[in-house]
Structure formats: structure tokens, C-alpha cells
Amino acid sequence: MQGCGNCKSEQVKVIYAQWSVSVASGDTYWDYEVFCGECGMYTSRSFSEN
Ligand SMILES: [Zn+2]
């Protein structure tokens, strides 16, 4: 997990996370969204696990 996409703060809460698998490649993905306690911005990200 990374911090806020706006201010780089690590004072964030994960408010949404969804795990999924790509049918084509078999890779697993996480889509997640965090809310920053410092600046109040929401940041959406996704990453894949190899
Ligand atoms: Zn922030």
C-alpha cells in the first residue's frame, strides 16, 4: 500500500478494496481507494501481484 496520491501522507484509510483475477493472463489485481486524513483527498489505485 502507498500513501496519499496528493500530499504523499501515509495517514490514509483504505475505504475500498477489490480483488480480481484477469481471465486472459491469470494475474491477480487489487483495486483500492484510500482517503487521506491529512488533505482529505481520495486516491484510487490498482496493482497486480506477480
Ligand atoms: Zn493527502
Q: For 11-33, what is each residue's pLDDT tens digit?
A: 999 999 999 998 998 999 999 99
Which residue did the predictor score with more confidence, 49 or 23? 23
* CA of residue 8 to ligand 1 center, whole Å: 6
pTM greater than 0.85 (yes/no): no
Q: What is the DSSP letter of 24?
A: T
* CA of residue 20 to ligand 1 center, whole Å: 27
* CA of residue 45 to ligand 1 center, whole Å: 14
* CA of residue 15 to ligand 1 center, whole Å: 14
The CA distance from 14 to 32, in Å, is 7
Residues forming a β-bridge with 5? none
Spans of all domains in the chain = 12-49
